[in-house]
Amino acid sequence: MATPSAPMPPSSRVDTPASIPTLTSQLLEAERVRSERLLNGVRAAVLFLLAISAALYSAHLTPVLNRVNASILVPMLIWTVAQQLVFHRRRIAPRWLSMANAVVDTTALTLLLAGYGEFGRAELAVKSPMFLAYVVIVAAQPLTSSARRSALVTILAVAQYTALLVFFVATGRIDVGGSPLTTPLMPGTSLLDEGARLLLLAVAGGAATYATARHERTLRNALIAQVRRDADERELSARLQQADKLAAVGTLAATVAHEVNNPLATIGLLAELLRESDLDAEQRESIDGIIAESRRTAAVVRDLMRVARPQELEDESISISELAERSLSVLRPLLRDQHVFPELTISNDLPAIRGYGGRLEQVVINLIINAVHAMEGRGATKILRLATGRDADSVWLTVEDTGTGFAPGIAERVFERFFTTKPVGKGTGLGLWIAREIVASHGGTISAANRAEGGARFELRFPTEKGRAAA
């Protein structure tokens, strides 16, 4: 009954709960990239100041220590500038970059301390304020890393400084057996001092890991709340737009009903008069179709008028087999014109249903017209099949065609308001939605699917009077 349609543009989609985690992850990723760019700028400034300090103190250091400074600081400056040129200028930062920076920074600091201990004095390495750089590296992790990476960086910093101490002690470059009261002024250091440094580093790393996890959880929850609020606002806006459309359609329907009512009565009256003329069988059948269609249209107009002035309607006992026959009879001229061959398979012993015959006839006629439109332009034989039957507590009516069928995902959406696969100006997207509402008001269901042999199939299913009483 429908032809394939183009997907909805992104701007018209409403965010679903399944899409919220994806949007949140994208926002978190954008924040991580910004933080990584900021930290790289801070790293560049610190390295620049260290390079200036190394140049100023170069006259007081041995040539070997100057080479140690150059061998560490120059590659670090190159690494920092390369990041800026390759990644941050394009506003990107791979996820491995956060961990790589932490590993590079920690390893560079360890090598710098090892160089000072190897070619200078070990006390200079372990007693200098350079140790605090480990704490700074660990403390910076909440800005760009996850809690897992922050914990890994803490373990790496503790392990590298411990390995540095073990190396100095094993090679006899430092004595850790001194007293804490004398080591600040005497060679060597104490086990208590170095243990306190390792504990400080571990505690700082633990605090940074906890802060990272808390920051990540808080930020994610805040972003999820914001995304949901935005999605709710967009959904509300879409519903208001649909309400405006429905209000406009209601106003237009009332106007059309008022303007069409009088000409329609004239058409019906003239057709009744023309029926009394001398006509052959085919002409009389056409006149009967005009009369039946004018009466059905008049009933639709009355329904439109009831929207403005609601009234109680009286239901009746309806045979869906007779409903199928009447609907097909009304549209036989259209079927002949479109070269569509109808096939009617009905059962005359079906139990009746309760409802409003004019409205249900409107539904079946709409389905038949849609089926004819779906088969337009088909070179093969065009067949329309109507069938009725029953189950234990329900009766059903099917309308099948040999058209192109539904594109993937379309059958589930054909009953949505304002959804149409027809070109602009040829469909409003309200026909099948109204059909579903009418069927639902009768306690029934309507479904759409593709036929295995090709084409589309609509099924109307209604509870019988017995089945409704049992329910």
DSSP codes of every residue in 407-446:
PTTTTTTTTSTT---SPTTS--S-HHHHHHHHHHHTT-EE
Mean pLDDT, to the nearest integer, of 261-289? 79
My answer on whether 343 and 450 are in the same domain is yes
Mean pLDDT, to the nearest integer, of 122-132? 75
Mean pLDDT, to the nearest integer, of 39-58? 85
Q: Which residue has the higher pLDDT, 418 or 156?
A: 156
Mean pLDDT, to the nearest integer, of 30-46? 83
Mean pLDDT, to the nearest integer, of 80-91? 88
CB atoms within 10 A of CB 392: 8
Hey, which residues does 449 pair with through a beta bridge?
A: 457
At residue 389, the pLDDT reads: 92
| Domain assignment of residue 61, yes or no | yes
* Token pair for 227: 């995304």
Mean pLDDT, to the nearest integer, of 19-32? 71
My answer on whether 51 and 188 are in the same domain is yes
Closest CA to 323 of 300, 355, 288: 355
| Domain assignment of residue 273, yes or no | no
My answer on whether 44 and 172 are in the same domain is yes
| Domain assignment of residue 197, yes or no | yes
| Domain assignment of residue 295, yes or no | no
- Give the pLDDT band (50/70/90) at residue 145: low
Lowest mean pLDDT among 17-26, 179-188, 446-455: 179-188
Lowest mean pLDDT among 69-73, 255-259, 263-267, 460-464: 255-259
| Domain assignment of residue 275, yes or no | no
Strands 340-345 and 445-450: unpaired
At residue 14, the pLDDT reads: 40
Mean pLDDT of the chain: 79
Question: What residue has token string 């299913």?
Answer: 461
Lowest mean pLDDT among 163-167, 210-214, 389-393: 210-214
* Token pair for 456: 């589309």
| Domain assignment of residue 304, yes or no | no
- Give the pLDDT band (50/70/90) at residue 226: confident
- Structural domains of the chain, count: 2
At residue 2, the pLDDT reads: 40
| Domain assignment of residue 293, yes or no | no
My answer on whether 80 and 178 are in the same domain is yes
Please report, rounded to a whole number, the percentage of residues in the chain having pLDDT higher than 90. Answer: 11
What is the C-alpha R_g of the chain? 41
Question: What residue has token string 């329904």?
Answer: 303
Mean pLDDT, to the nearest integer, of 21-45? 78
Give residues with Cβ within 8 angstroms of 230, minimum separation 6: 15
Q: Domain boundary at 235, 262, 282, which?
A: 235
Angle formed by the axes of helices 20-56 and 96-119, nearest 10°: 20
331-385 confidence digits (pLDDT tens): 888 888 888 999 999 888 888 888 888 888 889 988 998 899 888 877 778 999 9
At residue 305, the pLDDT reads: 62
Lowest mean pLDDT among 32-46, 80-94, 311-325, 326-340: 311-325
My answer on whether 323 and 229 are in the same domain is no
At residue 113, the pLDDT reads: 87
My answer on whether 348 and 204 are in the same domain is no
Mean pLDDT, to the nearest integer, of 204-226? 74
Mean pLDDT, to the nearest integer, of 143-153? 78
- Give the pLDDT band (50/70/90) at residue 466: low
| Domain assignment of residue 449, yes or no | yes
Domain with residue 332: its CATH number is 3.30.565.10
My answer on whether 206 and 355 are in the same domain is no
At residue 253, the pLDDT reads: 66
Q: Domain boundary at 235, 255, 275, which?
A: 235
* Whether residue 398 has pLDDT greater than 90: yes
* Whether residue 434 has pLDDT greater than 80: yes
Q: Domain boundary at 235, 258, 288, which?
A: 235
Domain that holds residue 324: 318-470
